[in-house]
Amino acid sequence: MPHYHKLGTIPHKRHTQFRKPNGSLYAEQLFSTEGFSNDYSILYHCHPPTQIIRTDAPVSVQPVIAEEKMLRHRSFEGFRLKPEQDYLQSRKPILVNQDCQVVLAAPGKGAMAYFFKNADADELIFIHEGKGELVTQYGKLPFGYGDYIHIPRGTIYQISFDTPENRLFIVESFSPIRYPKRYLSKYGQLLEHAPFCERDIRTPQDLLTIDEPGDFVIKTKKKGILYGLHYGHHPFDVVGWDGYCYPYILSIHDFEPITGRVHQPPPVHQTFEAANFVVCSFVPRLYDYHPQAIPAPYNHSNIDSDELLYYVDGDFMSRKNVTRGMLTLHPAGIPHGPHPGTVEKSIGKKETGELAVMVDTFHPLQLTTTALELENEGYVMSWAE
């Protein structure tokens, strides 16, 4: 969870009178996760955030499942996904299960002409290519290459890109995305052994307060349906807020790798966790320094998790023919490991410049029709001598 943060003007006590210069009340809104039993923020609006003036016909955006069950290694060329100018239209689910959806997107330059709210899922947006700005009720967050943007479910936002070509790797989580528990003190502070700390977390700045009547559409996703909800006042009419539930950014370049004399297991790369899946960051680091160390990862069996790796940049000594934006899926039930010849080749290497994001899920992932369009055929046979 993020640390406590506040912006703008707020009253001394929560749930008390907070009046505008004209004497009328600001509208208080509690924005919470898991009912009233976990993290929350309190926002103060110029107008109640409830004034819907009309609605659009709902549109299905449910992923189309192509393969529900399978047991073979798969590989996908993420950069084959064709760019689309519109942000929401560019987002294509690739692999999904009951806990999360893995999405690729290649949106164009410019800002959204609408607002978006994911009412189902926390979003973790990894910026592979491009830069721009996320604007929410909490303020502004500039972003760029290598940033993880965490957007709590229910956050209303607009995202704009300054660059013509943009590539995003997105994880939608149906449970809250957190920092790993083992990194946290019992009071919630990131501990000394954690690979990042609060100084690395970028919080919203430059709070906007737009007190403007009109017709503002918030495209809201709920249970695979996109609803167009039109509100009578600009949603960014917040004069102040405070709390622990808000969007933030952590750069993969600020993740400090944990190394050892012999090869370290994947949990040392863990960056986030949610119910039934984790997200890990593989970053440039020194290799193992035991005189007999083998830097390449050992063969291992996925007994209880599907392993999805998204290749960002750099060289990957355990894989052949890796391209930027490639995804590999190694499902639970069959072992996998380095490609032939890469183990011996890795001996004596001192460091790696690889950059990758891994998602390990504890329920099987299903392939969408888009995934099949991006697939590298024959990947399962790539371990043959």
pLDDT in tens, the chain (385 residues): 679 999 999 999 999 999 999 999 999 999 988 788 888 999 999 999 999 999 999 999 999 999 999 899 999 999 999 999 999 999 999 999 999 999 999 999 999 999 999 999 999 999 999 999 999 999 999 999 999 999 999 999 999 999 999 999 999 999 999 999 999 999 999 999 999 999 999 999 999 999 999 999 999 999 999 999 999 999 999 999 999 999 999 999 999 999 989 988 888 999 999 999 999 999 999 888 888 888 888 888 878 899 999 999 987 766 767 899 999 999 999 888 888 888 888 888 888 889 999 999 999 999 999 999 999 988 888 888 5
- Residue span(s) of the chain under CATH 2.60.120.10 come to 51-63+82-236+244-252, 255-381
Count CB atoms within 10 A of the CB of residue 175. 17
CB 147 within 8 A of CB 249: yes
Tokens at residue 317, please?
A: 């000594």
- pTM greater than 0.75 (yes/no): yes
User: Fold for domain 51-63+82-236+244-252?
Assistant: Jelly Rolls (2.60.120)
Q: Which residues contact 378 (CB under 8 A, 6 or more apart)?
A: none
**CATH tag, 255-381:** 2.60.120.10
Query: Residue 220 forms beta bridges with which residues?
Result: 117, 227
Distances (CA, A) of 3 to 121, 146, 195, 255: 21, 22, 16, 18
Q: How many helices (H) and strands (E) does the chain have?
A: 3, 31
State the DSSP string of 252-309: GGGPPPP--SSPPPGGGGEEEEETTEEEEEE--EEPP-STT---SPPPEE-SS-EEEE
